[in-house]
Each structure stands twice: as structure tokens, then as C-alpha cells.
Amino acid sequence: MAGPPTLRELPPDYTHPPPTTAPQIPTGNPKAPLWLRTYFQGLLFALGCSIQRHCGKVLFLGLLAFGALALGLRVAIIETDLEQLWVEVGSRVSQELHYTKEKLGEEAAYTSQMLIQTARQEGKNVLTVEALGLHLQAAFTASKAQVSLYGKSWDLNKICYKSGVPLIENGMIERMIEKLFPCVILTPLDCFWEGAKLQGGSAYLPGRPDIQWTNLDPEQLLKELGPFASLEGFRELLDKAQVGQAYVGRPCLDPEDLQCPPTAPNHHSRQAPSVAQELSGGCHGFSHKFMHWQEELLLGGVARDPQGQLLRAEALQSTFLLMSPRQLYEHFRGDYQTHDIGWSEEQAGIVLRAWQRRFVQLAQEALPENSSQQIHAFSSATLDDVLHAFSEVSATRVAGGYLLMLAYACVTMLRWDCGQSQGAVGLAGVLLVALAVASGLGLCAMLGIAFNAATTQVLPFLALGIGVDDVFLLAHAFTKAPPGTPQQQERMGECLRRTGTSVTLTSASNMVAFFTAALVPIPALRAFSLQAAVVVGCNFAAVMLVFPAILSLDLRRRHHQRLDVFCCFSSPCSARVVQILPQELGERTIPVGIAHLTTTVQAFTHCEASSQHVVTVLPPQAHLVPPASAPLASELFSPRGSTRDLLDQEECSRQKASFEAPPCACWNLAHFARYQFAPLLLQSHAKALVLVFSGALLGLGLYGATLVQDGLALADVVPRGTKEHAFLSAQLRYFSLYEVALVTQGGFDYAHSQRALFDLHQRFSSLKAVLPSPAAWAPRTWLHYYRNWLQGIQAAFDQDWASGRITRHSCRNGSEDGALAYKLLIQTGNAQEPLDFGQLTTRKLVDEEGLIAPELFYMGLTVWVSSDPLGLAASQANFYPPPPEWLHDRFDTTGENLRIPAAQPLEFAQFPFLLHGLQETADFLEAIEGARAACAEAGQAGVRAYPSGPPFLFWEQYLGLRRCFLLAVCVLLVCTFLVCALLLLSPWTAALVVVVLAMVTVELFGVMGFLGVKLSAIPVVILVASVGISVEFTVHVALGFLTSQGSRNLRAAQALEHTFAPVTDGAVSTLLGLLMLAGSNFDFIVRYFFLVLTALTLLGLLHGLVLLPVLLSLLGPPPEVVQMYKESPRVPSPAAAQDSGLRWESSPSLPQAFARVTASMTVAFRPPPLPGAYVHPASDEPTWSSVATPTADTSGSPSARASCPAAE
């Protein structure tokens, strides 16, 4: 081989030729798509060049704008109200809830504080005197809770809910009753005298010890007070309520107690009662008629003998009812105790929550650690605390996640060659994305979108992982400029032109995905989806506008040879560029057919002091070898230009400079993708294995999807191992009871629809989930109570009429009930003639069919509400509008007193029920469907009604959740197809991408089944969002394949080579962002977010980098352009080729007019010296004073860094 030519052999007028590319001839007729993409890329190019020219200004203005938006976080509102978070927007439940609040107000009638006692040894019987004694100890300790707020002391007797306090005309008796009237406490202790110890009221009468429920005998007290006051009405009230001797007539749990009253059945025998016998059938409060606590409310895990007798139980429950904040405010408004503190409803709520927390604390500490029993306490304040803790932002986890991301971005973008290192860019990119996330959330706060647990616990990490993906993509693309790009003027423009389409497509797909997820009509998840979409939009703006400015500033740093990260210091290793002058092949060197061109060059280098570039001259000596036996191998290892050959085939060990990179610096993800991954993946047997594995994975996903159950219990949200979780688990296991109500609306005539109302109640009572009432206990509906009361006063009237105590013109001598009936019977409802005494014997208050006389219905309602407070309270009717107050005086028979004002037509009333046995979501749905069917039947009879309660608020969404999920996914896949087809301009490619996305969604659904994740609104949002998130792993590969040239295998390999590194880095960054979720205290966050999103990331990576390239290599669309080399008119003959040292072989598969050349090059060179180093001139090296212009090329212009291949 001839020696290398000297520089003097070059023509004196030789100049570096401009880089050229071979003609690109479109295949088919895709001119319009190419033109559109070219136009869009032209806009991106102009944007990048403009940003690079004004990078400082863009960076300053961008940071200023994002910082201003981030200030919106100061007005963020965190929503923790379960109804506001989980009730389906626009649903019938939402409309019904709005109707209820419109009529009754925002709050329930009372709040519940619960104690559940179980044995530490699971399954042990608690129906023993010892266990009941420990339950008394815990309940008594908790009931004595006191808190001091606003200079006042608040105890149970002040804030508890008292049902049906009667109005008594006698002031002394009224004050005594107000102090003594018992709190509503549903407890198994009420079967015994010890239940009175939980009641804290007391009263004082001269000459008597303090009156408490532990020593109060109402019958004896009335006898003693009879001579001093007229208590006939009060005595009748107690008789109707069947108060009797109250607690002092019940057995003592501990007969040895010195306070055990002599009236107790076992006081004299001193024998302990049979706990199971006493608790069988439930207990009563102080009123046997109106306060019956069913057994299911008190005992859990019961066992019975074949005759149905209670034998044992595994749990006890006591429930303390407190007033709502509004009730407490109204109760003490204007009272002397609160007149000096500016009493408000907000203060009432603070008092209640403080007392509830103290109650729970005392209950949990009541029993010693070595006790055989354990107490689980819970209150509505505890639930609020759990939800607040669940919604709080963990600064430690957020900081840890972002520090991990910063470390990874810095390390993965650092290079041994300081000229190509981008560690500072990685740090700045992560910080920029963090600012973009904060600005997006701040914008949402300013738009009034409330935050919730999903926003605070998940979105910061998820958005960071998604946003950093595009940062890696731009940074990888920026390290390598295309052919002929000026280093300073157009570098950023070319970067955006090459990657902007992918970034736009992924961001648009993510935004469409989250906006589509907002179709799920659950407020918490709708807010999360909208916030995620806004944050993705802010990330997109930051990556496309501000991050290019950061890259442009880093380019200046590299140009001035400054250290990475520590840019104030000069770099010890300046960029060492080898400039290779291109040599045009002579006419005799054009091959015909497919050949592998190998050129060996002995390159002499010269370092010009001004440019510090090395120029290498390539002599036109080459030889052709037959193509390799493996077609893909010859294509993959035949680079598109000399730059890659120079970089890839150079060995670091041959560098002789004073600076040597370590061997590990020669390996990176792009190197792995090109030399190991792509050749292995795109072999025929590997493709077959990938398809079989993907099919099996899809099958497993479909099977796992069948395992997914619906539901989300509160116990799944509360952290495991906490006292709150222990209570919820015990409650779900032993006391799965739910208070519900059957609400009747306005719009129909209650008076003439009584039969339909009774039928509705009967249908509802017959539902499987409705807890049946004991046969001996009065029904729990206001209409029954009302009718029975009317029948009672009608019977009293009949007796008084028959005995002559009531006559046509007087009722003074009759009983209280008889006088009430007298006044009702003479009502006509006519304003002109309101009274008709002739009706006394011609009409009845209730007819033979058990229906109330329609003309007396609303007047009788006024009388019942005013005269039977205990019955009204027990019915829980909650009338709206409330009937007017009316005071009865049987001695006042004037015309005005005889007139009874009629209540207004009812617009709201309710029948209370208890649902039991609801464990699984299917049980809830069965109960919901049965209740809705009963209401629909009543609607045909003209009665407008709906069910209300927690099961209907939080479980009815599951009736249509799967349908909503399927609709959202289908809509999203269609939208993704349209977006991809629009930006890729290839429906074929878009269809393949959508198929892969659908597979990821199905397989993720199956993973949820195997992980035991139940389907609720939260997993639905993740599944819907998975379509958009998976686009990050697929669209870059698809776009790279679409814009490459060559065969399908070659294009798939090229796409992998250029996208493997950024896609993998993006996946790792997402996993690092999610990693901090694994440390959450809430198992719900770990299972429903960390595990599911981690599975999504791994599935997306697997399908994007393994399955999609295989599908593209088999089914991908043809290339948009192909590069052709026209045959020279003077083709060398074989002989001539042999004379010149060329060996060629014609290919019968190609037309004779074209030939395709794949070239590789091995270059031996002497590396340039470091800047500032002393250079010893070599005698055999020519001198050259010309200046070469450095260029970077990926297709034909031979210039490159002389270091090892850098990650792409």
C-alpha cells in the first residue's frame, strides 16, 4: 500500500467541501406528511435558534414566570371531607345529598364515638362478668373526659346528644329534668344497673342527697313530689315511655358493690347475673319503649345453641352520641356560660374535636397492658385526623425523592471527558422540573382546584418522573449535532428539530390521558387528573422553553473549556476533535451490489494553536469485501458515516496522551443498545421468543383481570399497625352495621299516600340486608309512631266519653290524652268554620284500615310533635318544614286554644333502618339495587323517595365504575391514536403504538389482580393515565423507526440505538421518583400507587424497548425516504477492480442502476496534546498551518471527538 500523501500533494485551491447527503427519494407518495412534519420541525428549529440567541433572557423570564405561579401554593386548599371527595359528581346520589342538605343543613343529627372490646386471645368469649367489668372500666374512664377551652370546662353531659327532652311547664321540674336527662349511650352495660354510672347528670332537691341515675327511681320521686307540684302530664309521659324504675330496677353486674340499689333483682341474693341471658335480644336505655339497643349493635361474633339462645360473643361495643357542632352552638347560644367568649359554631366544633381526642386517649389507656381484654376506640375526630395526616405533604419524602433524582441526573450525565460532561445540566434540569411541578400546582390552587391526598402524596413524585424523561431526551440529543451544524448558532435549533416532535407528542398524550381520566366522576380523582394535566403542561413549557436556554448556556461553558458543575474553573481536558477531510471516491471505486467497504487510514495529526483541532488526511485507498453472512449484522455494524466508525472502532487503550479515560468510560447505554441489545433482539429466534412471551404476558394479564374485585374500605387507607386500623378491622369483622334512611321528598300528598308509604316501608324492610326489628319492639318509622299515638289518644277519648268525663262542650275533666283527641276531632281545617263539635262521635282519628284521617293529618302532626317528644326522637323523622310548636292546656277551652295550626306539607321525612352483613362490595351493591328497586316501585304509586346513608354515598359508584373505566380507556386510546397519527403523520405506526398501549393497560390491570389491589376510582385513574404515561416509552422508538432509512431491521436497530439510553434513563428517573412512595406510612400509598406505578413503568419499558421494536421490524410501515446512489456511467470492470485492489460482487437482487454502500473505517491516529502542553515536533509529521472547521456528523461528514463513545 502506498504511503500517505503529503499535504503538498493536495491542490493549492483545496477547500473543505460542504457536507452533502445523497438524494432522498420518497417512497410512494407521502409528500404531504413529510411537508407537514418539515413545517413543524421548521417552527421548532426557529424556536430553538431564538432561544439560543437569547438564552439568558429566556432563562430569567422563564424562572420568573414559573416562580410567580408557584406562589399560588399559598392559597391551596386541602379537602378532607369524604362526601366532597368521593360522592360522584352529577349522579343521583349527589343530587339526593344536595336535596338532603338543602332541607336539613350540612351536618348529621349527631356524631358517634365508639368503643370496641375484644379478647387479646382471639376467639375467646367476652360474655363474662370479668369482661363486662373491664368494659365498664374503659367506658367509665372515657366518659369522664373533660377539656378546658375558652375558660370553660366541657364534659360529656354538656355536649352529648339527648333524645326527646320534654317541655314541662313546672320550672323546677324542667330544670331538674334538663340536668338529669340521660345522654344517648348504646352500650351492653344498659342491661345492668352499672349502665347508670356512664350518665353524669345530677340534680339537687332540698332534704335529699344528690339525685343521680345510680340512685334515681322515677316512680318513687314522682310520689314524693306529687303533693308539691302538678306532675300529671310528666307522669303520663314517663308511663308512655315505659321508664319504670329506670336503672335501679336492673340487676347489678357486681352485687357486692356497695352502691348496688336494694331494688336490684340480685341485691339480696348476691349472685352474679347470667351475662348471656341478660344481653340476649339487646338492652334498653332508660326508656323501654323508645330506647331499645338491638343485640347486633352491642355484640359481635355471637354463637347460639340450636334453640337460638345466645351462648357466647367475641366483641362488645358501646357507642356514645354527641351533638353536632351546629346543635352544640344552638344549645349554648345566649347561655350565661358562653356569653363572654364570642360563642360560634366554629368554636363548638373545636370543643367537640378536642373532647373526642381526649375520649379516645382515655379509652385506649383505661386497661393495663397485661389485661385479658383490649379496647379499640374511634371517633369522627380520629377519622378527620387520619384524613389530614393522609393528605399532608411529607417534606422528608419529597426532599429525599428529589435529592435521589438530582444525584441520578448528575451522575448519569457526567462524562470523563469534561467537554461532553453535562452533570450541571442534569442538576439544573431536575430543579427546573421541580419548579415546573410547583408552578403547575400553584396554578391549580389559583384556579380553585382543591388538593387531596392523591395530590399531596403522589403527584409530586409522578410529575417529577414524567418531566425528567424529556430532560434526558433533550440532553442526550444535544450532545451530538447533525451534519454541518454551526456549533454556536444553530445547535439548539437542530436539537429541538430532532426531538421536539417526540417531546410534544409525549406531553400531548399525557395531557390527553389525564384530561380523559377526569371523565371519572369522582371529585377527588377528577381534581387529581386535572392537576396532573396542568402540571404536565407546565413541565412541557419548562422543557421546551427554559431547558433549551440552560443547554445553550452549558454550550458556552463547553466552548470556553470550563469544568462541568464547577464552571468557574478551567477544564484540564479540552475537547479533542479529529477533523477528517472527506475524500470523494473515484469513478472506479463505486461498487455495484451490496458490499462492505473497509478503509484503513494512517492519519497524521496536527494541533493548530488557534483552533486546537486535529486534521487527519485520508488517502483514497480502500478495498471491498463480500457482505457478512448475517444480513442484520452487516447492516448494524455498517455505520452511516465515518464519525461513528471513528468513535466506535477506536480503542481507548491505544491513546498515547497524558490523559487517559478509564476502561469503564468506553461503555454506555447507547453502546450496549447498538452492539449487544439490538443485534440480539432482532434475530429471528429472539423475535419469536418475544412474541411468545408477550402473548403469555397478555394472557396472564387477562387472567389477573378476572381476579380484580371492586371496593375500597376505610381500613385499606389507614396505616396498618396503628390503633385506628385495629379498630376499623374489628368493626368490619364484628359490627358491619350501617345506619341508613329511606327519605321521602315533597311533591306528593302524604295525607292521601299513607298506604303507599306503608307499602314502601314493608318492601324496604324485606330486603336481605335490612336488620329486622324484634317482634316485641315497636317499628322504627315516624308514620307508625304517629299512627300508634293517635290510636292511643283515641282510646283515651273513647274511655273519657263513655265515662262522661268528656262531653260535647268540655274536656276539662278528661285525661290529657283524651283532651288532645277532643281538640283534634273537632277540627275542620276550614278557616271560616274551624271547629265542628258534631264530629266528636262521627269520625275517628285512625280508620279501620289503620290510615290516619287525611283531613286531620297535618293538624295531628303538629299535636304529635309537640306532645310526644320521646316518640318523635325515636322515630328520627327529621321533618321539613318542621311542624309549628303548640302548647296544650286541657283547662283552657277558649276558641283560640282549641284551634290547632296545621303543619305545612312535608318536603322531607325519613324512615331509619340498619343494614347488616355487608362485608364485600357485592353485598353493598345487592343492598343498593334492592333499595333502589323498592323506591322505583313506590314511585309508580306516586311516592318520591330515595335511600340515604354511607353505603349509598360511597358504594353506589361501583354500579357503573367498570363501564366508566372502559369508556374512558376506549376514548383515550382513540384520542391517542389521533394525536399520534397527527404528529407522526403515519396511521400505521400510530395503530401499532396504540396496540402496545392497550396491552400495557390490560397487563397492568392483571398485575392489580395479582397484587390484591381492588378496583376503585383511584386505580381507575392510574389505569387511564397509564395509557399516556406509556407513550413515554413507545413514541420515541416509533418516531425513530419512522424517520430512519433502510430495511425494517436496520431502522428498528437505529431507533433503539438512539432512544434506548434516554428512554431507560427516563424510566429509572420515574422509578426513583416513585421510590419515596415506598416509605409512606400508609400501606394504601404503597400498594395502590407505588406498586402499581412501578409495575406500569416496568411494563412500559418492556413493551417500548422490546415488544415494539420487534413489531416494527415485522409489521412496521415502509420508510418515508430511502437513500439511493446512482450508478456512474463508467462502471469499472472486474478486471479493473482487481487491478486497483478492489473486490466486488454484484447482487442480483438490486437494479443495476442503483447500489447501496455501507462503509466502516478503521483509523489509526496520534491524539493531540492537551492545551498548554509542550509538543515535541516529529520529523515524519508534515506541518500544516491551515485551519480546519470542526463539524459534527452522523451521516456523512467525518468529524468526531477522539474520546470513547459517549452516551446518547
Task: Specify the range with the lowest mean pLDDT, choosing from 21-30, 206-215, 820-829.
Answer: 21-30
Mean pLDDT, to the nearest integer, of 858-862? 93
Q: Does residue 1065 sit in helix, strand or coil?
A: helix
Residues 862, 863, 865, 871, CA torsion sign: negative
Helix, strand, coil percentages, rounded to 5, for the chain: 55, 10, 35
What pLDDT score does 92 carry?
84
833 confidence band (pLDDT: 50, 70, 90): confident
Mean pLDDT, to the nearest integer, of 334-348? 84
Neighbours of 649 (CB within 10 A): 14
- Cβ atoms of 44 and 500 within 8 Å: the answer is yes
d(CA 211, CA 224): 13
How confident is the prediction for the chain on average, in pLDDT? 77
d(CA 307, CA 1134): 109
Asked if residue 645 has pLDDT above 50, the reply is: no
Asked if residue 906 has pLDDT above 60, the reply is: yes
**From its phi and psi, is residue 912 left (phi > 0), alpha (psi between -120 and 50) or beta?**
beta
What is the DSSP track for 868-884?
-HHHHHHHT---BSPPP
Alpha-carbon distances, residue 926 vs 148, 770, 950, 1023, 1137 (angstroms): 47, 11, 15, 26, 87
What pLDDT score does 230 carry?
62
What pLDDT score does 775 carry?
55
489 confidence band (pLDDT: 50, 70, 90): low
- Cβ atoms of 538 and 67 within 8 Å: the answer is no
Q: Describe the crossing of helices 754-765 and 921-940 by its angle, rounded to 10 degrees.
A: 160
Mean pLDDT, to the nearest integer, of 1025-1050? 84
Mean pLDDT, to the nearest integer, of 522-550? 90
How big is the CA angle at 864 (ends 859 and 866), to the nearest 5 degrees?
100
Task: Specify the range with the lowest mean pLDDT, choosing from 332-346, 535-549, 612-626, 1181-1195.
Answer: 1181-1195
What pLDDT score does 540 carry?
93
Alpha-carbon distances, residue 420 vs 244, 410, 607, 657, 747 (angstroms): 93, 13, 20, 18, 77
Asked if residue 841 has pLDDT above 50, the reply is: yes
Exposed/middle/buried for 385, CB within 10 Å: 0-12, 13-18, 19+?
middle
Task: Specify the range with the lowest mean pLDDT, choosing from 258-272, 289-303, 324-338, 1150-1164.
Answer: 1150-1164
Q: Is the peptide bond before 548 cis (omega within 30 degrees of 0)?
A: no
Neighbours of 253 (CB within 10 A): 24
Q: Does residue 113 sit in helix, strand or coil?
A: strand
Alpha-carbon distances, residue 1176 vs 576, 606, 924, 961 (angstroms): 18, 12, 89, 79
Mean pLDDT, to the nearest integer, of 494-503? 86
β-strand 595-602 against 1157-1164: which pairing, if any?
parallel
1089 confidence band (pLDDT: 50, 70, 90): confident
Tell me the one-letter amino acid at 751: A
315 confidence band (pLDDT: 50, 70, 90): very high
Q: What are phi and psi of 324, to 5 degrees?
A: -75, 160
What pLDDT score does 503 carry?
87
Name the residue among 213, 199, 198 with its Cα closest to residue 135: 198
Highest mean pLDDT among 110-114, 643-647, 1204-1208: 110-114
Per the model's pLDDT, the better-predicted residue between 957 and 787 turns out to be 787
d(CA 418, CA 574): 7
Neighbours of 1187 (CB within 10 A): 13
Task: Specify the range with the lowest mean pLDDT, choosing from 277-291, 299-313, 446-460, 816-830.
Answer: 446-460
Asked if residue 732 has pLDDT above 60, the reply is: yes
Exposed/middle/buried for 425, CB within 10 Å: 0-12, 13-18, 19+?
buried
Name the residue among 174, 79, 65 with its Cα closest to residue 440: 65
Name the residue among 734, 738, 580 with its Cα closest to residue 123: 734
What pLDDT score does 487 carry?
52
Per the model's pLDDT, the better-predicted residue between 166 and 1046 turns out to be 1046
Name the residue among 85, 1158, 230, 84 with its Cα closest to residue 644: 1158
Asked if residue 1106 has pLDDT above 90, the reply is: yes
Asked if residue 1054 has pLDDT above 50, the reply is: yes
What pLDDT score does 360 carry?
92
Alpha-carbon distances, residue 1044 vs 504, 749, 1117, 1195 (angstroms): 19, 76, 11, 11
d(CA 393, CA 403): 16
d(CA 631, CA 776): 90
d(CA 451, CA 610): 59
What pLDDT score does 1003 carry?
94
What pLDDT score does 1185 carry?
35
The pLDDT tens digits for 38-84 are 888 889 999 989 998 898 899 999 999 999 999 999 998 888 777 77
Asked if residue 450 has pLDDT above 70, the reply is: yes
Which pTM was predicted? 0.72
502 confidence band (pLDDT: 50, 70, 90): confident
Per the model's pLDDT, the better-predicted residue between 628 and 461 turns out to be 461
Rounded percentage of the chain residues whose pLDDT exceeds 90: 26
What pLDDT score does 416 carry?
60
What pLDDT score does 488 carry?
59
- DSSP letter for 420, please: T
Rounded percentage of the chain residues whose pLDDT exceeds 70: 76
The pLDDT tens digits for 405-420 are 778 777 777 666 555 6
Asked if residue 454 has pLDDT above 90, the reply is: no
Question: How far does CA 831 lie from the centroid of its chain?
Answer: 60
728 confidence band (pLDDT: 50, 70, 90): confident
Task: Specify the range with the lowest mean pLDDT, choosing from 467-471, 630-634, 973-977, 1169-1173.
Answer: 1169-1173
Per the model's pLDDT, the better-predicted residue between 663 and 554 turns out to be 554
482 confidence band (pLDDT: 50, 70, 90): low
- Cβ atoms of 1117 and 989 within 8 Å: the answer is yes
Exposed/middle/buried for 27, CB within 10 Å: 0-12, 13-18, 19+?
exposed
1125 confidence band (pLDDT: 50, 70, 90): very low
What pLDDT score does 895 carry?
66
Per the model's pLDDT, the better-predicted residue between 935 and 41 turns out to be 935
The pLDDT tens digits for 117-172 are 999 988 899 999 999 999 999 999 999 999 999 888 999 988 998 876 666 655 66
712 confidence band (pLDDT: 50, 70, 90): confident
1040 confidence band (pLDDT: 50, 70, 90): confident
Write a three-state SS string for 57-109: HHHHHHHHHHHHHHHHHHHCCECCCHHHHHCCCCCHHHHHHHHHHHHHCCCCC
Q: What is the largest CA-CA distance in the chain?
A: 146
Give bridge partners of residue 1199 from the DSSP assignment.
Answer: 579
What pLDDT score does 228 carry?
61
First to last CA, the chain: 37
Asked if residue 22 has pLDDT above 80, the reply is: no
What pLDDT score does 1027 carry?
83
Q: What residues have CB less than 8 Å from 1133, skipping those under 6 apart?
A: none
Task: Specify the range with the lowest mean pLDDT, choosing from 15-24, 707-716, 875-884, 1068-1077.
Answer: 15-24
d(CA 485, CA 970): 43
Give residue for cell 431507533.
1055
Helix (H) or strand (E) holding 415: none
What pLDDT score does 758 carry?
92
Mean pLDDT, to the nearest integer, of 692-712? 92
667 confidence band (pLDDT: 50, 70, 90): low
d(CA 113, CA 476): 59
Name the grid cell of 1201: 471527538
Mean pLDDT, to the nearest integer, of 325-345? 84
Tell me the one-letter amino acid at 528: F
What pLDDT score does 1204 carry?
34
Mean pLDDT, to the nearest integer, of 501-529? 82
Mean pLDDT, to the nearest integer, of 968-973? 85
d(CA 1091, CA 105): 41
Highest mean pLDDT among 2-11, 692-701, 870-879: 692-701
Whole-angstrom Cα Rg for the chain = 43
Name the grid cell of 343: 360563642
**From its phi and psi, is residue 773 left (phi > 0), alpha (psi between -120 and 50) or beta?**
beta
d(CA 509, CA 977): 9
Q: Does residue 452 sit in helix, strand or coil?
A: coil
d(CA 292, CA 278): 14
Q: Does residue 573 sit in helix, strand or coil?
A: coil
How big is the CA angle at 238 (ends 232 and 244), to the nearest 5 degrees?
120
d(CA 821, CA 845): 8
Question: How far does CA 917 lie from the centroid of its chain?
Answer: 28
- Cβ atoms of 890 and 236 within 8 Å: the answer is no
Long-range contacts of 1086-1089 (CB under 8 A, 24+ apart): 1087/1011, 1087/1012, 1087/1013, 1088/1013, 1088/1018, 1088/1019, 1088/1022, 1089/457, 1089/458, 1089/1018, 1089/1022
Asked if residue 787 has pLDDT above 70, the reply is: yes
d(CA 542, CA 539): 5
